[in-house]
Chain A
Amino acid sequence: MELFKYTEPVKFMAKSRHFGILSLVLVLLSWGLIFTKGFNYGIDFAGGTLIQIKYDKDAPLKQIREALAKNEAFKGANVTYFGSNQEIVIRTKSSTSSVGNDVGDEVRQLLKNTGNFEVRRVDMVGPKIGGELKEKGLMATILAILGILIYVSVRFEWRFALASVAALVHDVSIAMGAIVLFGIEVNLDTLAAILTILGYSLNDTIIVFDRIREGIRTHKSVNLGEIIDESVTRTLSRTVLTSLTTFFVVLTLYIFGGEIINSFSFTLLVGIVVGTYSSIFIASPILMWLGFDVRGYRAKEAEKLKREKEKEKLRAMYEQGTL
């Protein structure tokens, strides 16, 4: 089967301005959302307690809320269904530091008369740890971006590195915007998803850039726009196919993987879509906007080749003892 059979390159660059504006708007909207509405931090970062309870029949939400209200510690506790009507999750901002008697034990006592249930999960994060995790998460993201920037600079050129990081910031911003928009709880696994998007979206971009690098060396034209169009067209099938397979795999995870990893898989789904879009429409134009010069690059490459040849010559002479 063949879905992508282009004899002529698709004129992506002709439309690049439109996509640039669309992306800019999306990124700005996302930032707006992040700064105005803000993240819905889960207990990993905000601290607090999460208790997951499964009843043997439908959970009596009203009764549960009433029972919880009797205890000062559960004032303002949030009780919601979790996955099914039999399962609920209680979230509170409070946490206890006592090892022996914790919030989970108290909940078991309070809910004694609400039916047959099983406490399946108690997660409690103290305020200090929450702050530490936040710090660590930010640190990890920055380090990952830095590492990628350095690697791409070494393997390609600094403008490629900047363009790929700009595409990354674009993808991560929009993914975060979607997280805020849909009120997805931000926990450690959401952070893992963001870092995965970093790796994944870059993966896509690199494949395209690799083709552009190849095109710059071998293409007859010195027009970067033409080279980009050709390279993006030639990698289009791969970009779309891989994204599709990954998308469907993550979709099964989202649908069947259970409630616990929902926020993780949701974030990834958004990231895959945005990452694919950006590596086709955004990353390469940025390269052009940064003023990448094909002639200059070729000259530099030729220079490098010449120097290496000279070195080899010198070495050969040295080895023969003629130097």
Chain B
Amino acid sequence: MQRLNYRVVIFAFAFLFGVVFSIPSLTQSESGKKITLGLDLQGGLHMLLGVKTQEAIKSRIKSIAGTIKYILDDNDIVYDDLSIQGDKITFKILDSDDLKKTQELLKKEIEGVTILNSGDEFSISLTPKEIQKTKLMAIDQAVDTIRNRLDQFGLAEPTVAKQGTDKILVEVPGIKTPADEQRIRELIARAAHLQMMAVDEDRAARVYNMSPQEAKKYGDVILPDVKDPNQKYLLKQIPILDGSMLTDAKVGFDRNNQPVINFKLNGEGAKIFGDFSGKSVGKRMAIVLDNKVYSAPVIRERIGGGSGQISGNFTINEANDVAIALRSGALLAPVYVMEKRSVGPSLGADSIKQSTIALVLGFVLVVIFMIIYYGMAGVIADTALIANLFLILAIMSLFGATLTLPGMAGIVLTVGMAVDANVIINERIRELLRSGASVSKAIEEGYKNAFTAIWDANVTTLISAVVLYVYGTGPIKGFALTMSIGILASMLTAILGTHGIYQMLLPKIKKERLNFWFGIKA
């Protein structure tokens, strides 16, 4: 240890830094920052979802129709033919004296709509701005809702994020079986749209002879029973209230020990529910979830308190998932899959095994080759290479970066390229030695001459890696990342580090032993 120089000190620190911070990842210890394995290595589900925003508009219109109905009823305005025609709500008031009052009420109570009327006939539609807002809200709400559901499902670290303006990225690591995956997908996709709807008792008897078009004419819809799809109900199209007024939903058991879902409504919901049930004693009210009728009990008396029960033939898992979905709110608009990638845990494990074998083998090959070809200079280059590997792992661990299968390939490739700097330097040194330069001059000049080439070459490779990172998706990003880190780390280890080692060893390098030191005959 004659000449301790700043280069070798920095290199030693970098090496130590690399080893210390890659230990948690290598030993998979509990504490410390670790590299996250990508979904392709640990198994899991990756989905890019689209949102059918048009449906959000539809349901917004429906909900406005519900509000109009409530306002009109509440203010004793007599009306008829309240229905939804495409993207418009139309109705007719029967007493022209109510015209002004109706206009004022609607303007005051409902936002974001254009209210037109010719005489007593009203036509209400959403403003373009409101449509835009509703669409955006549908996407944001879907992100929140899905995140909420996955969090409540109790999985480790799911990712739900908006991507671009209209896509949702969902990543769920650590799924064990395809059946589990399907259950998670169903939970994500469930609309969880709860509605209380009045049965149209006047025409209910004719439900089996009625076409959907005819039902629509009466302002009704026909919905099937959840247990027996052949059993149909004729329901008023505009619901009494919906799941947006729900405050809680829990799994419980009924008298027969069947799982049921108990829910609670907020103050407003409870009032609407109470008012309706008070007026409708003797009639039936259907509890509808995602357009299926779960039950349609006859109202015996006014129901206060605002709680209710959904009973169907749930399994306990299903009841659990429905309750989660109800609690986290309905999806304003349904989602659909644009891209899906799922990897089973066993395949991920295989991928890790195979790429590790390739990495180790490639690494050993390069290490041996360098020693055979360059002698001690090869050993020094190998030291830098090892430091480089540790540094890549350490930097990735500290940033919590994700290691993917292409990322592993990136590391393998970096091994090949990182020694490149040392090959260039060693060749330069050899050249100078052959032309008779002294050892110290050959080393100093060699590093100086090699530097511009290494620098330019690395910068251009970095350019394509950065482009790849910006434009790549998922696993490919991992490849660009490991390669970029590898290139940057190699500047430190292969150029600075090895230079320092030479300077430290310089007094020992004798011109008579060039074959040992640099693999060339003196």
Contact = CB atoms under 8 A, between A and B. Distances in A.
Interface of B: 40, 47-50, 178, 182, 185-186, 188-190, 335-344, 346-347, 350-351, 354-355, 357-358, 361-363, 365-366, 369-370, 372-374, 405-406, 409, 412-413, 415-417, 419-420, 423-424, 427, 430-431, 449, 452-453, 456-465, 467-468, 470-473, 475-476, 479-480, 483, 519-521
B460 A199 contact: yes
Contacts of A133: 473
B419 A242 contact: yes
Given A95-B337, A196-B464, A206-B457, 11 more contacts: A100-B185, A104-B342, A133-B473, A199-B462, A199-B464, A203-B458, A206-B453, A206-B460, A246-B420, A252-B361, A261-B355
Given A99-B49, A99-B189, A189-B476, A105 B178 contact: yes
A98 B338 contact: no
B405 A261 contact: yes
Nearest to B357: A256
Contact of A1 (B188, B373, B412, B416): B373
Contact of B362 (A96, A155, A253, A260): A253
Contacts of A235: 427
B471 A140 contact: yes
B460 A99 contact: no
A189 B406 contact: yes
Nearest to A207: B453
Contacts of A250: 362, 412-413, 416
A290 interface: no
A97 B473 contact: no
A155 B453 CA distance: 11
Contacts of A252: 358, 361-362, 365, 412
B342 A258 contact: no
Given A120-B344, A242-B420, A97 B337 contact: yes
Contact of B476 (A126, A192, A253, A268): A192
B347 to A, nearest CB: 4
Contact of A246 (B48, B351, B417): B417
Nearest to B373: A1
A237 B460 CA distance: 21
Contacts of A21: none
Contacts of A247: 416
A210 B452 contact: yes
Given A195-B468, A252-B365, A203 B417 contact: yes
A110 to B, nearest CB: 13
B366 A97 contact: no
Contacts of A108: 178
Given A148-B460, A250-B413, A98 B365 contact: no
A140 B463 CA distance: 11
B347 A121 contact: yes
Top 8 nearest A-B pairs by Cβ distance?
Answer: A99-B189, A246-B416, A258-B354, A249-B362, A140-B471, A199-B464, A210-B453, A199-B461
B342 A257 contact: no
B344 A121 contact: yes
B467 A207 contact: no
Nearest to B452: A210
A118 interface: yes
A111 to B, nearest CB: 12
A99 B338 contact: no
A207 B457 contact: yes
A128 B166 CA distance: 13
B456 A139 contact: no
B417 A126 contact: no
A200 B419 CA distance: 14
Given A242-B419, A242-B423, A119 B178 contact: yes
Nearest to B190: A100
Contact of A97 (B338, B357, B370, B458): B338
Interface string A86-102: 00000000011111111
A203 B366 contact: no
Interface size class of A (residues with CB under 8 A): 35 or more
B218 to A, nearest CB: 32
Interface in A200-250: 200, 202-204, 206-207, 210-211, 214, 234-235, 237-238, 241-242, 244-250
Contact of A249 (B190, B405, B412): B412
Contact of A98 (B336, B347, B372): B336
24 contacts: A1-B372, A1-B374, A100-B190, A122-B341, A123-B340, A143-B471, A144-B464, A151-B460, A188-B476, A189-B475, A192-B479, A195-B468, A196-B413, A199-B463, A203-B458, A211-B453, A234-B431, A237-B427, A245-B366, A245-B369, A245-B419, A246-B416, A252-B362, A253-B412
Contacts of A54: 346-347
Nearest to B412: A253
A248 B367 CA distance: 12
A125 interface: yes
A233 B369 CA distance: 22
Interface in A17-74: 52, 54
Contacts of B336: 97-99
Given A99-B47, A189-B406, A256-B361, A249 B416 contact: yes
A248 B372 CA distance: 15
Contact of A155 (B340, B341, B427, B456): B456
A122 B340 contact: yes
A257 B354 contact: yes
Contacts of B472: 140, 188, 192
B344 A118 contact: yes
A148 B464 contact: yes
Contact of B373 (A102, A147, A241): A241
A99 to B, nearest CB: 3
A124 interface: yes
B350 A253 contact: no
A307 B131 CA distance: 64
A67 B47 CA distance: 28
A253 B420 CA distance: 18
A152 interface: yes
A157 B415 CA distance: 31
- Chain B CB within 10 Å — which of A52, A202, A260 has the most? A260
A8 interface: no
Contacts of B50: 97, 128
Contacts of A144: 463-464, 467-468
Nearest to B347: A120
Contacts of B456: 151-152, 155, 206, 210
A2 B178 contact: no
A295 interface: no
A140 B480 CA distance: 12
Nearest to B453: A210
A166 to B, nearest CB: 15
A136 interface: yes
A264 interface: yes
B362 A248 contact: yes
Contacts of B373: 1, 3, 241
